[in-house]
Amino acid sequence: MIENENSKEISVFEKIDQISKELGLLNAREQTILEMQHTDNPDVKTLSLKSGSWSGAEPWFIIDDDQKLHTVISIDSLTKMIENFRKMQQETFNLKLEKTILQHVPIDFLDVWTVAMEEIRSIASAQPEAKAINIDLEKLVGKIKQEHPNLFLNLKDFYLPNYVDLAQSDENDDDDEEEI
């Protein structure tokens, strides 16, 4: 038995059905399920086919002696999964960078993007042994905005003079009222 998030025990087979449904596997009952058993030699274990077939679709599920559930996938599937994770990570990073740039109101988004990517490349090339680098995108875009203010709109430049005059005349009106 396995405990799920609601702390109620469920069978290993129910857990396999649940995982199969979450993975979108249509024929959960046809999944390859293997049982791993000890042998006299502590370095050797045997696998017995409980259901499915030896040529069944991935993942294969293995139930060990302690009723723990394990899975087996091919190296091709693992490679594709890692590749997809990397793509998702890149897309997430790009979306965060895009959002950060847009929050600073660029005049030409692509110009700012290009400068940001050059900055990121220079940071990455300064740390060639690092597998991952951590970049504060807000600081990066803020630095770009300071170094290249011409790439961003300055909202202070867009205030209407009439608005300023109205605000000043309201202040003057308030001063007149106090004198009374």
Mean pLDDT over the full length of the chain: 83
Q: What is the pLDDT of residues 24-49, one digit of tens each?
A: 775 666 789 999 999 999 999 999 99
CA 68 to the chain's CA centroid:
29
State the DSSP code for 159: -
**Assessment of whether the complete model's pTM goes beyond 0.85:** no
Least confident span in 31-40, 130-139, 150-159 = 150-159
Residue 160 gets the label, from left (phi > 0), alpha (psi -120 to 50) or beta, of: beta
Query: How many whole angstroms separate alpha carbon 62 and alpha carbon 47?
Result: 8
Q: Which among 111, 131, 133 is positioned nearest to 122, based on CA atoms?
A: 133
Query: How many whole angstroms separate alpha carbon 171 and alpha carbon 127?
Result: 56
The mean per-residue pLDDT over the stretch 128-132 comes to 75
Phi first, then psi, for residue 164 (nearest 5°) are -65, -45
Q: What percent of the chain has pLDDT over 90?
A: 52
More confident residue, 72 or 8: 72
Q: Which among 88, 89, 49 is positioned nearest to 72, based on CA atoms?
A: 49
